[in-house]
Structure 1
Amino acid sequence: MTEPVIVGVDSSGRSLRALVWAAHEAALRGARLRVVHVLPTWEHDIPFHPPGMWLNVRDRGADIVAEAAAIATESQPGLDVSPELIIGRPATVFIDAAEHASAVVLGARGEGGLRNVLLGSVSLQVVGHAAAPVVVVGYVNSGHDRILVGTDGSAGSTAALGYAFEEASLRKAVLYVLRSWGMPATAEAGAAAADPGEVTARLRRELGEQLVGLRARHPDVTVQEELVRSGPSAALIRASERADLAVVGSRGKGGFHGLAMGSVSHALLQYAMCPVAVVRPVGGADAA
């Protein structure tokens, strides 16, 4: 049985974008959509609060999830949608829920004319700790029929590639696999400078080896491979302008050295022009 897709909702525009994206994702996977609004814990933690405040907050939350469920059903008729009010701290609620989810979808913080997506602490915590893939929806860039995935050749990036192949297959989209690399600023003492042509040939062989099993499991997916001599963050952000979804691992090494929150994945979450999925390896252990 397919695990549900979970989406966090509030009353913001960013939440609506995440909701519509999540409903489409659940429909593609044939999964249930859990529409979750988190109520504050202060009703239990703080005994003295204005009379009626908790009831007002609870009722407002009930209206939010009911409206969100209606929108999801309207956008994807026949979708199994469950509206849920949960009391707790938002990051903890979604991290716990991710243990039994095919994906957790959250809206990015930030509205108006800002080009970059200002992530909130909840999104960052969930991305950094959730077992399931976490999709942060800021800009919705659809119609390209293209899934972007960044890889560094590490074992950890295989999880991102696996999810990206699934998404490309579900969406009947081209999969664009990007590996970025750069020559070292200075060669080690006594060592000959690396030849760019040799480096490119070696990385292309490694990339082909990393993809062979995934290609066999997803023969329906058209794959485009590209090696770019550029900083990984800049390369992925540029490529996101022509993608419907960008996928990265939670941590990496080599060409994507330090791929972790605060590094490449953080930069992509901040500045990508499409939804971004961050995927952790099975078991939650990042690549060293």
Structure 2
Amino acid sequence: MSWGSHVLVGYDGTHGSERALKWAAEEARRRRLPLTVCHAWRWPYPIGHIDHEGVAIVKRMGEHLLDHAVALARRTAPTVTVRGRMLEGPADAALTHEGEGAELIVVGSHERDELPVGSTALRLPARARVPVVVVRTTGTRHREIVAGVDGSPGGDAALAFAFEEAALRGWTVRAVYGCWEAEAVGGDLMLLGDDRRLRETCGARLERAVSPWRVKYPHVEARTSLELRPPRQALFEAAEKADLVVVGDRGAGGFDPLRLGATSSAVLQHVPCTVAVVPSARG
């Protein structure tokens, strides 16, 4: 699977964006791709109150931040080609536009449970046409990637990205299917009243989803977890022992193309580790 020709990371000088920068630099090294470091700036006052000298100062501050970020990226991954890009406008819009030619977009995050509604980490994954990685930590504790599966195109896209990342890093994949929800069983509410049929039907769906990726990546250790609980609860628990959680932009119950699915949004806001949101194939 190929999404583009470079890794793109957003940087604004915060600790969260510095973690994202280091994660992105290492990712570019693993993928043998160049790294683009982007700083989005904008005049913070109404358009009718432009102070041209003030605008110049804001831009210079942004340029200094960007120079620092490029130097840090080069120190982190000396073999990676790094370039800086100054863009004007809201960060999510700027990164979405710049990310059209990227393999993935990387951004930092507040701590879990602290993401404001208008946060770039929430808005960008709903808009971007390539995977978005929201970095919470650069440490490695468990060497496991959790992928959310539900039989939807979003779940298949999450599996593809999870196996690719596991192959790059030498980590394991755990495919998690929380099936105790109407959307997760394709709307067949009768299944929710019969645990045996639910396990058989959803277990077969889970194995069918994972099987092609086991064949494509035979050296990646992979296991499956069928959970008789809502998808978000299953993923919250699995994330406690993962270094990366991968979800689709919307699952079987997501119908608004301009918004993240409810489970993906909840995962972004509440799990303790880094999260990747992967878009389904779009025409």
Equivalent-residue separation in structure 1 for 2:175 and 2:114 (angstroms): 24
2:106, 2:135 within 8 Å by CA — same for their partners in 1? Answer: yes
**In 2, Cα distance between equivalents of 1:31 and 1:76:** 11
Contact 1:142 1:244 in 2 (8 A): yes
Kept after mapping to 1: 8 A contact 2:6/2:104: yes
Partner of 1:94: 95
For residues 105-151 of structure 1, give each alpha carbon's deviation from its aligned partner in whole angstroms, at most 9, with x where no partner exists.
111135xxxx5241443332211010000111134452311111001
- Map of 1:82 onto structure 2: 83
1:59-99 Cα distance to aligned partner (Å, 9 max, x none): 11111111111111111121111111112332221111221
Structure 2 Cα separation of the partners of residues 193 and 220 of structure 1: 36
**CA separation in 1, counterparts of 2:74 and 2:67?**
11
Change (3 A) 1:139 1:272: farther
**Uncovered stretches (5+) of structure 1, i.e. residues with no partner:** 185-190
Corresponding position of 2:64: 63
Runs (5+) with no aligned partner, structure 2 = 183-189
Which residue is equivalent to 1:187?
A: none
From the superposition, tell whether residues 117 and 217 of structure 1 become closer, same or farther in structure 2 (CA, over 3 Å). farther
Length-normalised TM-score, structure 1:
0.86
Residue 170 of structure 1 deviates from its aligned partner by: 0.6
Q: Distance in 2 between the 1:49 and 1:183 partners?
A: 52
* 1:12 is aligned to 2:14: yes
On the 8 A contact 2:73/2:82 being kept in 1, the answer is: yes
**Counterpart position of 1:225:** 224
Deviations 1:30-54 (A, max 9, x none): 11110000121579x8364345212
CA distance, structure 2, for counterparts of residue 233 and residue 193 of structure 1: 17
For residue 115 of structure 2, what is the aligned residue in structure 1? 118
Written as runs of structure 1 = structure 2, the 5 A alignment for 1:110-189 is: 116-119=113-116, 120-182=118-180
Assess if the C-alpha contact under 8 Å between 2:154 and 2:278 holds in 1.
no
Secondary structure of 1:31's aligned partner: coil
Q: How does 1:38-53 map to 2 (within 5 A)?
A: 38-40=40-42, 46=47, 48-50=49-51, 52-53=53-54
The 2-side partners of 1:274 and 1:141 are apart by 9
Q: 1:51 to 1:213 in 2, by over 3 A?
A: closer
Post-superposition offset of 1:198: 2.6
26-35 or 257-266: which moved more? 257-266
Report the alpha carbon displacement of residue 278 of structure 1 after superposing the two structures with TM: 0.6
2 CA distance for matches of 1:139 and 1:211?
27
CA separation in 2, counterparts of 1:181 and 1:193?
A: 9
User: For residues 76 and 63 of structure 1, what CA distance do their matches in structure 2 show?
Assistant: 20
Q: Letter of the aligned partner of 2:194 in structure 1?
A: D
Letter in 2 for 1:27: R
Aligned pair count? 271
| TM-score, structure 2 as length reference | 0.87
Three-state SS of the structure 2 residue aligned to 1:143 is coil
